[in-house]
Amino acid sequence: MLRHSLQLHEFLRHEHEAILAEWESMDRRLLESADGLSQKDLRNNIPGILKNLADVAEKAQGDPSKVKISSDGPEGHAQYRWSQRFSLEEVTREYAFLRTVILQKLVPRVGELSSGELVLVNEALDQAIVQSVITFVAKANSELKAEREQLQVTLRSIGDAVVSTDVNGRITYFNPAAERVTGWSQEEALGQPVGDVLITVQELSSRASQTLNSDRELAGNEAEVLLKRRTGELLPVEELTAPLCNDKGEGLGAVTTVRDMSTIRALTSELTYQASHDPLTGLPNRALLYAELEKALVIAEREKGRLALLYLDLDMFKDVNDMLGHTVGDELLRQVAKRLQHSVRRTDTVSRLGGDEFAILLTGFEPLKYLGDVSLKVARHLRAPFVLGQDTIDVSVSIGVSVYPEDGRDADTLVKHADVAMYQAKACGRDNIQYFAQEMNERAIERFHLEADLRRAIAEHQLSLCFQPQIALNSGRIIGAEALLRWKHPQKGLIPPDRFIPVAEQSGHLMMSIGDWVLEEACRQAKAWSDGGQAPIRISVNVSMTQLRSDRFQKRVEQLLHQYHMSPDQLQLELTESIIMSDVAGAKDHIRALKELGVRIAVDDFGTGYSSLSYLKDLPVDELKIDQSFVHDISLDANKAAIVQAVIRMGQSLKLRVIAEGVEDQAAVDFLTSNDCEAAQGYYYSKPITAAAFETWANQSHAQHVSSVGLTGSTLSNTRN
């Protein structure tokens, strides 16, 4: 539903100087008499008239009937222009310029302005023109009142068709604009009955309307009608007829002005279209979607039918803008819009809500299976490659679906629930379709509160690091430690990372803050151990996609290495395979920049979802970490054993160190050792533990030189890696 947020008087006051400057430029360019005048003399009373117009607009509150502009400004302006030898046409054109400037500046925001205030602008400026005409006529011939009244009415509409008649209704004056509008020449029209020349038709009824001639009937006659031109063409016009009387009140005839409304209607239609459609794709915008949804809900309620709303968000669209530029991104959105329109019926509404978000309103369908078919069809059409100039791009879409009446009975609720379902689709790994359910809404609310709590957690020092040792299988010595983030909420207790990390990743700034804290805390702890006499060990820190893509991340790593006096190879940054594969080209550049600092790079959770591993040969990585899902029960599952053996062999061929995660028993240690895996970490050696507990464990491990000892006790965390 459209809401008018723009007030005319506020607009006029805010744009006051800009309007005057553009008006002055137009005046000097188009009026010969304006040339050579100073700014003060040229503007004369126009600033005051503009201010008066704003005051009138504020009082009228969009009601044109309340418009009463002060005559002082126009009268003074006209008197000064008379003294400067301006013609009456030039003075009236000055007001036309003012009208043009105001309307042009209103065009981008016309959807926010009520139609009454647009009429108000025209009415107020018409009053100013009339007053100027009156002043000029009085100056020119103050003795002839009848002539002055005739000039006042006739000249009021310079640029419009003006037709004057005598008391018998025969045409006595026919201006050039009347020739253009009617198709009659002046010679042909003069002396003709006005009803034979100005043939008008009521637009709605298409019945002929009688042109009025008597003085009594003429008073106040104004209407929008269709004018039948001499060629037979019907032209939308605004017709105004008024009587002419002498100073004794005796009738002299009538004057009719006819304004061609075709251009105004076309402009109004264009402005209405712009206010309700997305300028990039031409699709209905959010406002029009809501309007269509409100109408569809009324019909669905009356006919006890169903409707559905599909909320769509393109996956990884930001990468297209970042890598190929916004021009390519815009073209992609235009092509997506076309595919969406071809995926549904003409009776369905496809709209763009903003950014890379779209919505589809489906009506008149049975059964519910139809929704699934349409959603799958939409997703399938968008998966087909997009050809954008020299580039070919593959995209996918996350779709959330809400249904009336099950998921809501009003527009706001249905949009909100479809949005919630869409975010659930993204949480499920993108390229996914999810239907709204109550638990989705509850989960969205929980995530909202969790994000707020997480922001406080940083400020209130609720976050901490635990460390899990990494052991060389051939010697049993400690070769490193992985820093793992923990959050102990003051009321909710320990919150596992798999619950709060996805929430942080939804907010780039929040993930950057947390990631930066983890990196600095890990470096600080490494220095603390070194200062305490511990032999230097490598610290592994997990890096998010948000951090890797940041242009500031490399400098931040370099700064921390210097601040805590760490050797670069003492720091290892762990990137999940999914992060690397989401942007192989971009990841390659960022990883190489980090490698130039001397830090080590590990691929975490290796093998958990990508069959093509050719990217490894092009990335400067040092270590592969076999995901714990392959290591668990490795001695009992031949398929897992084969995968682990293949990863170890591949790592060896690429000269990469291979470390296995999630090692929990001696059987796994024996298997990995026999297959030449270099290192391992997991519960068999130690759970993630505090920095102090890690230091104690490391001292004991070094003293005993044990390669297969599990650590238990109250110092251990109950949360697995």
pLDDT for 148 equals 53
pLDDT for 522 equals 95
Domain spans, the chain: 8-140, 159-266, 279-436, 449-703
Mean pLDDT value across residues 484-502 = 89
Q: Flag whether pLDDT at 264 surpasses 90.
A: no
pLDDT for 465 equals 95
Phi, psi of 587 (to 5 degrees): -60, -40
Phi, psi of 633 (to 5 degrees): 55, 35
Is the peptide bond preceding residue 405 cis, with omega within 30 degrees of 0? Answer: yes
Mean pLDDT value across residues 312-340 = 88
CA-closest candidate to residue 358, choices 274, 427, 289, 279 = 289
Residues in the chain: 721
Write down the CATH superfamily of domain 449-703. EAL domain (3.20.20.450)
Q: Which pLDDT tens digit goes with each residue over 509-522?
A: 888 899 999 999 99
Q: Which pLDDT tens digit goes with each residue over 410-438?
A: 999 999 999 999 988 887 777 788 888 76
Q: Which pLDDT tens digit goes with each residue over 66-83?
A: 777 788 888 888 888 888
Of the pLDDT bands very low, low, confident and very high (cuts 50, 70, 90), residue 174 is confident
Higher pLDDT, 111 or 643: 643
Average pLDDT, the chain: 82
Cross-strand pairs, 54: none
* Farthest CA pair distance, the chain: 126
pLDDT for 325 equals 86
pLDDT for 568 equals 93
pLDDT for 605 equals 81
DSSP 8-state assignment for residue 430: S
The span from the CA of 406 to the CA of 548, in Å, is 43
pLDDT for 104 equals 85
Q: Flag whether pLDDT at 342 surpasses 80.
A: yes
Q: Flag whether pLDDT at 489 surpasses 80.
A: yes
Span of 186-190, 303-307, 407-411, 711-715 with lowest mean pLDDT: 711-715
Of the pLDDT bands very low, low, confident and very high (cuts 50, 70, 90), residue 219 is very low
The span from the CA of 574 to the CA of 602, in Å, is 5
Of the pLDDT bands very low, low, confident and very high (cuts 50, 70, 90), residue 718 is very low
Which amino acid appears at position 657 of this protein?
R
Sequence-distant (6+) residues with CB within 8 A of 120 are 8, 56, 57, 60, 62, 63, 64, 67
pLDDT for 615 equals 66
Q: Which pLDDT tens digit goes with each residue over 398-410?
A: 999 999 888 889 9
Percent of the chain with pLDDT over 90: 27
Is domain 279-436 in CATH 1.10.220.110, yes or no?
no
Q: Which pLDDT tens digit goes with each residue over 97-126?
A: 888 888 888 878 777 777 777 777 777 777
Of the pLDDT bands very low, low, confident and very high (cuts 50, 70, 90), residue 717 is very low
**CATH label, 159-266, candidates 3.10.310.10, 3.40.50.620, 3.30.450.20, 3.50.50.60:** 3.30.450.20
pLDDT for 306 equals 86
Of the pLDDT bands very low, low, confident and very high (cuts 50, 70, 90), residue 443 is low
Mean pLDDT value across residues 174-182 = 86
- Coil vs helix vs strand at 316: coil
Of the pLDDT bands very low, low, confident and very high (cuts 50, 70, 90), residue 668 is very high
pLDDT for 30 equals 87
pLDDT for 223 equals 57
Higher pLDDT, 670 or 212: 670
Measured torsion, CA atoms of residues 628, 629, 632, 635, in degrees rounded to the nearest 10: -110
Of the pLDDT bands very low, low, confident and very high (cuts 50, 70, 90), residue 230 is confident
pLDDT for 244 equals 82
pLDDT for 186 equals 86
Measured torsion, CA atoms of residues 344, 381, 429, 616, in degrees rounded to the nearest 10: -170
Please tell me whether the overall predicted TM-score, pTM, comes out greater than 0.85 for this model.
Answer: no
C-beta neighbour count of 368 within 10 angstroms = 12
CA-closest candidate to residue 620, choices 594, 585, 657, 646 = 594
**CB burial class (10 A; 0-12, 13-18, 19+) of residue 653?**
exposed
Q: Flag whether pLDDT at 255 surpasses 90.
A: no
Is the peptide bond preceding residue 367 cis, with omega within 30 degrees of 0? Answer: yes
Q: Which pLDDT tens digit goes with each residue over 521-573?
A: 999 999 999 888 888 889 999 998 888 888 889 999 999 999 999 999 999 99
Mean pLDDT value across residues 373-397 = 85
HEC secondary structure over 636-649: CCHHHHHHHHHHHH
Highest mean pLDDT among 62-76, 443-457, 685-699, 701-715: 685-699
Q: Which pLDDT tens digit goes with each residue over 38-61?
A: 999 988 888 888 888 888 888 877
State both tokens at 235. Answer: 């032209």
